Amino acid sequence: MVFDTDVLIWVLRGNDKAALVAEQDPQRAVSIITCMELLGHARNQREMAAIRQFLGHFETIPLSEEIGLRGCLYVEQYGLKIDLAPADVLIAATAVDRKQSLCTGNPKHYRPISDLELKPFRP
């Protein structure tokens, strides 16, 4: 399963329910976009090191040409109907490209993307 950034923020903040969801998935993965989002919010080197160590427990999926093209397709299909953040589009495209569900606490961000399987998370 691919984990959205918001779920991992809950884990990092000590939410036991989020940690359990992540720990129970033997194929847990994140988009490189999620790594960038988490690392970009580190306030100091200690936090950056802790985030890097935490992310080591997940497969990091790099961007590929296919993910980029799928992301562009989503913007073309849905961008005029709803507000799609580029990071969300690429995270969704990553999950679909890998044929994995996306665990997110923000399913409304992704609901219009018909070929994406969502696993909503509620803290």
Which CATH superfamily does the domain covering 2-120 fall into?
A: 5'-nuclease (3.40.50.1010)
What rounded mean pLDDT belongs to the chain?
95
The first and second tokens of residue 98, run together, are 């890998």
Query: Each residue of 26-50: pLDDT tens digit?
Result: 999 999 999 999 999 999 999 999 9
What's the confidence (pLDDT) of residue 109?
A: 87
What is d(CA 97, CA 42) in angstroms, rounded to the nearest whole number?
29
What is d(CA 21, CA 66) in angstroms, rounded to the nearest whole number?
28
- Range 104-110 average pLDDT: 92
The first and second tokens of residue 15, run together, are 């939410």
What is d(CA 73, CA 8) in angstroms, rounded to the nearest whole number?
27
What's the confidence (pLDDT) of residue 123?
A: 87
Query: Each residue of 79-106: pLDDT tens digit?
Result: 888 888 999 999 999 999 999 999 999 9
Single pTM value for the model: 0.94
The set of residues, in sequence order, having a beta carbon less than 8 Å from that of 110 and lying 6+ positions away, is 88, 92, 102, 104, 116, 118
